[in-house]
């Protein structure tokens, strides 16, 4: 019996990196289900979250998954709690188990390719060992990819500190630089964007413009976002939205693990209340570290950290939910009129696809680049200004930007029109003859050529 052609995919730990890769696999198989099976080999630092398990259980039968044995985070000897070194070191410590799983796959299937997250590139040598092609599934946009490919050739200290605010001696810097240096060694890079969204960055990547190094093939196949669940599967957030007026609710969420200080949480609470607009807020336990919830989840109830009386005072105005909410269903809902976002790339694409203008509130890393794209180039977002002394965005400023995006002003209406145009362009890119569908087809043919 002829072995089925198989593609192995290795995400790094973190919900925001696993989900785009899962959605890419589903998109690939939606168009080429008769050609491939996909096997996910997932490094971990603990048991998968209930939301991850729920998503895994909905996958089609030709997507298989294996959770690699969890790594003890104490064994990573981290200098900082930043997720980048955590993710890279977790993959590195998982390499022996990963090699065993690839060996098993190779014996049972026609294994042709290894698709890695940008922060899983320590596994790149395994593609050579098993004589298969290698690809990066880049979870951010084309501009961030261009920066990453260019980064080792730049004045590393100056550029890195401008963009990411980390010293050259930090473990974050070392981990990021290591991934950047490995990136040009793959056969191709799959990037979750589309031509209309980032035309200049995509063109520069495909032409290898000013990269000063041989560049892999680049496949812009996005926007890849999760599809909303059927109405029968909705939860309390969607049930609440069903009773709100059209475009009346501001959705507030800082990604799958972004966190704010206690003082900033307080100011957001008072700012939302002061704005008078309806809101749906996903609250997390405060932390001075803005990415503290990404790799290891929080267990405390975050509602207790809100200002006294806030939930009761605003019970007719808003809904506060702890830690997690069904974001795609919320953004797709007709009652959602704005999104206060950390500008992570997944959230950015989901907001664009569903035509929801944004309040840009980046926390770290490439989110600042994404915020500039949204506010300055695409003009589909506004950005609040922090206090000059302590950087905290005060309640009056928060109320002001909420009103700018949610009021039926000329500025707000123009933003809605621009983001709806982007949403339409995204649909065209994913249509039968769209640019992203063509790029996906080229990639699939490349996979198949490896199987001959």
**Residues acting as catalytic residues:** 17, 117
Helix axes 15-32, 435-451, angle to 10 degrees: 80
DSSP string, 348-401: HHHHHHTT--EEE---STTHHHHHHIIIIIS--EE-----TTT-PPPHHHHHHH
Q: 207: which 2 tokens?
A: 């032409």
| Alpha carbon distances (Å) from 1 to 4, 105, 108, 110 | 9, 16, 11, 12
- Taking phi over 0 as left and psi of -120 to 50 as alpha, with beta for the rest, 343 belongs to left
Please list, in sequence order, all residues whose beta carbon lies within 8 angstroms of the beta carbon of residue 438, skipping any fewer than 6 positions away.
none
d(CA 424, CA 428): 6
**283 phi/psi in degrees, rounded to 5:** -100, 140
d(CA 346, CA 49): 19
Neighbours of 198 (CB within 10 A): 24
Q: 246: which 2 tokens?
A: 């059209």
Q: 319: which 2 tokens?
A: 């809904």
Q: Are 192 and 138 in contact (CB under 8 A)?
A: yes
Q: 115: which 2 tokens?
A: 């698709």
d(CA 16, CA 55): 13
Closest CA to 194 of 447, 443, 431: 431
Q: List the beta strands (DSSP E) in 149-274.
A: 188-191, 217-220, 249-253
Query: Sheet harboring 110-117: ordered strands across?
Result: 63-67, 37-42, 5-10, 110-117, 133-138, 188-191, 217-220
d(CA 139, CA 136): 9
Q: List the beta strands (DSSP E) in 28-84.
A: 37-42, 63-67
Cis peptide before 223 (omega within 30 of 0): yes
d(CA 182, CA 179): 5
Quick one: DSSP state of residue 49? P
């Amino acid at each position: 019996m002829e072995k089925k052609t198989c593609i192995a995919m290795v995400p790094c730990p973190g919900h925001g990196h696993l989900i785009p890769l899962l959605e890419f696999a589903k998109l690939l198989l939606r168009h080429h289900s008769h050609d491939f099976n996909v096997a996910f080999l997932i490094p971990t630092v603990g048991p998968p979250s209930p939301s991850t398990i729920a998503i895994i259980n909905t996958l089609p039968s030709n997507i298989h998954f294996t959770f690699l044995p969890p790594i003890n985070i104490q064994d990573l000897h981290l200098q900082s709690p930043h997720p980048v070194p955590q993710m890279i070191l977790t993959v590195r410590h998982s390499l022996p188990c990963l090699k065993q799983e690839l060996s098993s796959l190779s014996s049972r299937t026609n294994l042709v390719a290894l698709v890695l997250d940008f922060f899983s590139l320590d596994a790149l040598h395994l593609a050579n060992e098993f004589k298969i092609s290698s690809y990066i599934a880049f979870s951010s946009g084309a501009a961030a990819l261009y920066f990453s490919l260019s980064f080792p050739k730049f004045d590393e200290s100056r550029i890195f500190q401008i963009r990411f605010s980390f010293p050259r001696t930090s473990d974050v810097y070392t981990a990021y630089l290591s991934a950047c240096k490995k990136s040009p060694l793959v056969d191709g890079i799959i990037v979750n964007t589309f031509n209309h969204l980032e035309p200049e960055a995509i063109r520069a990547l495909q032409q290898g413009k000013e990269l000063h190094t041989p560049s892999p093939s680049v496949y812009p196949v996005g926007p890849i976002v999760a599809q909303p669940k059927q109405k029968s599967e909705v939860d309390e957030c969607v049930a609440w939205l069903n009773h709100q007026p059209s475009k009346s609710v501001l959705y507030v969420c800082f990604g799958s693990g972004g966190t704010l200080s206690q003082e900033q949480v307080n100011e957001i609470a008072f700012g939302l209340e002061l704005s008078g607009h309806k809101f749906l807020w996903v609250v997390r336990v405060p932390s001075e570290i803005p990415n503290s919830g990404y790799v290891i989840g929080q267990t405390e109830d975050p509602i207790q950290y809100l200002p006294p009386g806030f939930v009761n005072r605003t019970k007719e105005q808003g809904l506060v939910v702890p830690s997690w909410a069904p974001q795609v269903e919320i953004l797709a809902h007709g009652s959602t009129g704005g999104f206060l976002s950390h500008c992570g790339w997944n959230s950015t694409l989901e907001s664009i696809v569903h035509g929801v203008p944004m309040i840009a509130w980046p926390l770290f890393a490439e989110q600042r680049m994404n915020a500039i794209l949204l506010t300055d180039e695409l003009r589909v977002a506004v950005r609040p200004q922090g206090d000059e002394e302590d950087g905290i965005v005060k309640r009056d400023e928060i109320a002001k930007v909420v009103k700018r995006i949610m009021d039926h002003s000329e500025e707000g209406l123009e933003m809605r029109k621009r983001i709806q145009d982007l949403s339409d362009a995204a649909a065209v890119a994913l249509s039968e003859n769209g640019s992203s569908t063509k790029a996906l087809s080229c990639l699939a043919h490349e996979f198949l050529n490896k199987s001959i």
